[in-house]
Amino acid sequence: MPRYVALLRGVSPSNCKMPQLKACLAAAGFADVRTVLSSGNAVFNADDSEWGALEQRCEQVILASFGHAFPTIIRPAEYLQDLIASDPFGGFALPTAAKRVVTFLRRADNPAVELPIARDGVQILKMAGTEVFTAYEPGPKGPVFMTMLERAFGKDITTRTLETVRKCAMA
């Protein structure tokens, strides 16, 4: 049975408890459910192989359980493992302190965006399929990279550090 990673947008420890998330996904019929960190990452096995159908199913059971909708983006764990193995940041000369983040788009049909985009220590480097790769150096202006990503790709996205993606892919 394939393993999938659910990446929920807008989750914080105060609005979504991971044990409750795990329980609601298990009750919905997903197998071997685990949560990763406390920022809305769940990993599970499922027979269904269509990402969009899994996204809808997750969103429905989460809404029923929490009374609150969390947009959910699904990727197969194997897909994320391949993405990490491809070293998506390898072709860029990035400062050692730069945080590497991956933004997941629900669909790849977004309007063409001319990349790279750089501002205030943020570099939106490239888009490959349904993923966007960004590097930023933390600074006094805070997380300006999210504003830049939303302006370029809309709000139907969710972002994780490369290290979180790695943890999810291996869970």
pLDDT in tens, 77-119: 999 999 999 999 999 999 988 999 999 998 877 667 899 999 8
What pLDDT is attached to residue 120? 85
32: left (phi over 0), alpha (psi -120 to 50) or beta: left
How many distinct structural domains can be found in the chain? 2
Helix axes 51-66, 18-27, angle to 10 degrees: 120
100/165 same-domain check:
yes
Task: Give the integer Cα–Cα distance in Å for 46 and 107.
Answer: 21
157: left (phi over 0), alpha (psi -120 to 50) or beta: beta
Boundary (domain end) residue, out of 16, 51, 80 = 80
What pLDDT is attached to residue 142? 67
156/117 same-domain check:
yes
Q: Indicate the DSSP class of residue 33.
A: E
Boundary (domain end) residue, out of 64, 80, 96 = 80
Task: Give the integer Cα–Cα distance in Å for 59 and 68.
Answer: 9
Residue range 20-24: average pLDDT? 94
Q: Which domain holds residue 30?
A: 3-80
Q: 8: domain CATH number?
A: 3.30.70.1280
Phi, psi of 97 (to 5 degrees): -80, -5
Q: What percent of the chain has pLDDT over 90?
A: 70
Task: Give the integer Cα–Cα distance in Å for 85 and 63.
Answer: 34
113/131 same-domain check:
yes
91/158 same-domain check:
yes
What pLDDT is attached to residue 43? 97
Long-range contacts of 64-69 (CB under 8 A, 24+ apart): 64/24, 65/20, 65/21, 65/23, 65/24, 65/27, 66/15, 66/16, 66/20, 66/24, 68/15, 68/16
24/100 same-domain check:
no
